[in-house]
Structure 1
Amino acid sequence: MAGEETPDFDVPVGLFQDLEDLKAHVARLTAQVGALSQSADTGPGEAPADETPDVGGEAAGEDEEQYPPFILLLDPPQYDDELRALIEWVEGVLVPGYLAEPSADARWCHLWFEHPPAVARLHACWLAWQELTDPATCGYTGPSVWHRDHLDPCIRELRASGGPFAGCTKGEHQIDHRMPGTVPSAWTRTGD
Structure 2
Amino acid sequence: MSDEPDEAPEFSVPVGMFEDIEDLKAQLAQLTTLVKTLTGGDGAEPGEASADDAAADGEAAEEDEWQYPPFILLLDPPEYDDELRALIEWVEGVLVPGYLAEPSADARWCHLWVEHSVAVARLHAVWLAWQELTDPASCGYTGPSVWHRDHLDPALRELRGSSGPFAGCTKGEHQIEHRLPALVPSAWRMSGN
Normalised TM-score (structure 1): 0.69
SS in structure 2 at match of 1:80: helix
Q: In the comparison of the two structures, how many residue pairs are matched?
A: 164
Query: In the alignment, what sits opposite 1:101?
Result: 102
Query: In the alignment, what sits opposite 1:155?
Result: 156
Deviations 1:18-46 (A, max 9, x none): 77665544332221111121373238xx7
Residue 117 of structure 2 is aligned to residue 110 of structure 1: no
TM alignment of 1:15-164, pairs within 5 A? 23-38=25-40, 40-42=47-49, 48=53, 50-51=55-56, 53=58, 60=61, 66-164=67-165
Name which structure has the greater RCO, CA cutoff 8 Å, separation 6+: 2
Deviations 1:145-186 (A, max 9, x none): 1111100000000001111011112376569xxxxxxxxxxx
Output the aligned Cα RMSD.
3.5
- The answer to which structure has the higher helix fraction is 2
Q: Is the 8 A contact 2:113 2:120 kept in 1?
A: yes
Structure 1, gaps ≥5 residues long: 1-11, 176-192
Q: Is the 8 A contact 1:109 1:170 kept in 2?
A: no
Give the Cα–Cα distance (whole angstroms) in 2 for the partners of residues 34 and 140 of structure 1: 23
Among all aligned residue pairs of Structure 1 and Structure 2, give the percentage whose two residues are the same amino acid.
76
SS in structure 1 at match of 2:114: helix
Q: Find the structure with the greater CA-based Rg.
A: 1
Structure 2, gaps ≥5 residues long: 1-12, 41-45, 177-193
